[in-house]
Every structure is written in structure tokens, then in C-alpha cells.
């Protein structure tokens, strides 16, 4: 299964991605994660990417594309993958289509998880993260078994600094401006599955799995 998952911050994209990679036994490829890994490994590309991220800028398309091409050549990506956070622009989407064509691979689906901005702002306010292992919870939609304590590691749950209304609105605005053209791009070739992210994580996953079945 070769999937791209798109969705605004706070729509539950990360949780859906985690479930899907387990269901299909495919690697979860996040460009943000690759950038951090390369930086820790002292890779020159990783250093360049890190400088952009540090300045709060987007990593240029050519650097991102080089990193993605390299990642797709790894053994674990040969039988499928889930892209999270990529492609983020039309040039990136075109580059990815070229890589896939070179490999003779087809994209199975682009999953677009959507929800109203208003709901997302409210939802992010309830988000909590484990300060120890990074697992994400929600006080209403996905609460821990014991209040403020991580189910996995027993760590303390905290609210991230940038999970406030103003920052979230700004991130949503950037997301809409950047990503909507990418969704339109994939829409032209009929590859988009729209999933309603306002539901529970389980229900959204069921909808995605059903649509993926029909898509094949």
C-alpha cells in the first residue's frame, strides 16, 4: 500500500497514520522526522535542512525532494509506505510522481482528513502530550486511563506551548494556503479519499479502510 496522508494540525492525522502503518505493515515516512534524523547523523543535507527549520522557514523543495528520493530507496520502503507531511507543494507532488514513475509504482490513495477550523481550535486546546515519550492524548476524545498520566510510560501529560488558539489559527491559515493546491492536484487524477476528522479516531479509521477497499 502506498499512501499519502494530508490534514491540518489537530485533525488527528498523526493518530490515523500510526494505525494505518500498523494495519498495512508499512513505514511511516515523515519528512520532519527524516530531517531530524539526518541532522543527528551529521549529514550535510540534514544540516542545510536544519538551518531553514531553525529560522522557521520551509525547507526548499529541491532539498526535500533529494531526501525523499533517498528515503524511497531504502529496503523497508520497497513494498509500500505512508507519507506524512509530504508533499507540501505542487513541485514536491510533481517530483514524487516522477520518483514513483521511475520505480514503476502507483500511489494507492491520498487521504485527506478534514474538519472545520473552529472544531480544530477547540480540539487542540484539549490536547496533552506525554513529557516523557511524546504520546499524544486528548482530554475528551482520547483520554488516558488515569488523568494526566501516560498509559504507555507513566510520564506526566502536559500542554504544549504552541497549542494555543492564536498559534493554531496561524498554523491553520498556512496549512490551507500551502496544502489545498496539493489536494486539488491529486483530485485531478481521482486519487483523493476524503475522511471526516471530526469523528473519533476509530470511526475515521473505519471510514478510511472502507474507502481504501472500494478504491482498489
Please choose, out of 76-84, 121-129, 143-151, 160-168, the segment that lies near Zn ion by the rule CB under 5 A.
143-151
Please choose, out of 13-21, 119-127, 129-137, 201-209, the segment that lies near Zn ion by the rule CB under 5 A.
129-137
Nearer residue to Zn ion within complex by CB, 58 or 146: 146
Q: What is the largest CA-CA distance in the chain?
A: 50
The residue from 58, 94, 119, 133 that contacts Zn ion (CB under 5 A) is 133
Contacts of 18 (CB under 8 A, 6+ apart): 28
- Applying the rule CB under 5 A, the residues between 151 and 180 that interact with Zn ion are 152-153, 155
Within 10 angstroms of residue 166's Cβ, the number of other Cβ atoms is 9
Is 88 among the catalytic positions? yes
Q: Is 132 one of the binding residues for Zn ion (CB under 5 A)?
A: yes
The residue from 130, 192, 193, 212 that contacts Zn ion (CB under 5 A) is 130
Spot the catalytic one: 13, 71, 123, 128.
13
Q: Is 144 one of the binding residues for Zn ion (CB under 5 A)?
A: no
Q: Is 142 one of the binding residues for Zn ion (CB under 5 A)?
A: no
Set of cell numbers at residue 50: 536544519
Set of cell numbers at residue 109: 490513495
Dist CA 119 CA 155 (whole Å): 28
Set of cell numbers at residue 57: 522557514
Please choose, out of 26-34, 150-158, 173-181, 184-192, the segment that lies near Zn ion by the rule CB under 5 A.
150-158
Beta-bridge partner residues of 194: 112
The CA distances from residue 33 to 39, 40, 48, 169, 193, in Å, are 10, 11, 15, 24, 25
Is 156 among the catalytic positions? no
**Exposed / middle / buried, residue 86 (Cβ in 10 Å: 0-12, 13-18, 19+):** buried
Is 127 among the catalytic positions? yes
Spot the catalytic one: 36, 69, 171, 191.
171
Nearer residue to Zn ion within complex by CB, 152 or 200: 152
Positions that interact with Zn ion (CB under 5 A): 130, 132-133, 135, 150, 152-153, 155
Indicate which residues carry an active-site annotation: 13, 88, 127, 160, 171
Amino acid at each position: 500500500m502506498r499512501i499519502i496522508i494530508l490534514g491540518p494540525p489537530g485533525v488527528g492525522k498523526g493518530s490515523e497514520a500510526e494505525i494505518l502503518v500498523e494495519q498495512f505493515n508499512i513505514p511511516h515516512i515523515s519528512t520532519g522526522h527524516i530531517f531530524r534524523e539526518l541532522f543527528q547523523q551529521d549529514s550535510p543535507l540534514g544540516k542545510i535542512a536544519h538551518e531553514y527549520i531553525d529560522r522557521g522557514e520551509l525547507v526548499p523543495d529541491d532539498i526535500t525532494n533529494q531526501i525523499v528520493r533517498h528515503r524511497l530507496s531504502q529496503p523497508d520502503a520497497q513494498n509500500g509506505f505512508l507519507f506524512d507531511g509530504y508533499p507540501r507543494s505542487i513541485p514536491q507532488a510533481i517530483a514524487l510522481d516522477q520518483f514513483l514513475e521511475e520505480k514503476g509504482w502507483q500511489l494507492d490513495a491520498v487521504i485527506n482528513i478534514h474538519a472545520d477550523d473552529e472544531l480544530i481550535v477547540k480540539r487542540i486546546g484539549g490536547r496533552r502530550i506525554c513529557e516523557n515519550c511524546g504520546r499524544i492524548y486528548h482530554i475528551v476524545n482520547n483520554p488516558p486511563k488515569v488523568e494526566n498520566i501516560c498509559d504507555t510510560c507513566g510520564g506526566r501529560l502536559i500542554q504544549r506551548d504552541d497549542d494555543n488558539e492564536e498559534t493554531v489559527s496561524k498554523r491553520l491559515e498556512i496549512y490551507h494556503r500551502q496544502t489545498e493546491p496539493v489536494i486539488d492536484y491529486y483530485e485531478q487524477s481521482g486519487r483523493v479519499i476524503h475522511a471526516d476528522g471530526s469523528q473519533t479516531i476509530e470511526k475515521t479509521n473505519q471510514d478510511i479502510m472502507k474507502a481504501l477497499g472500494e478504491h482498489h
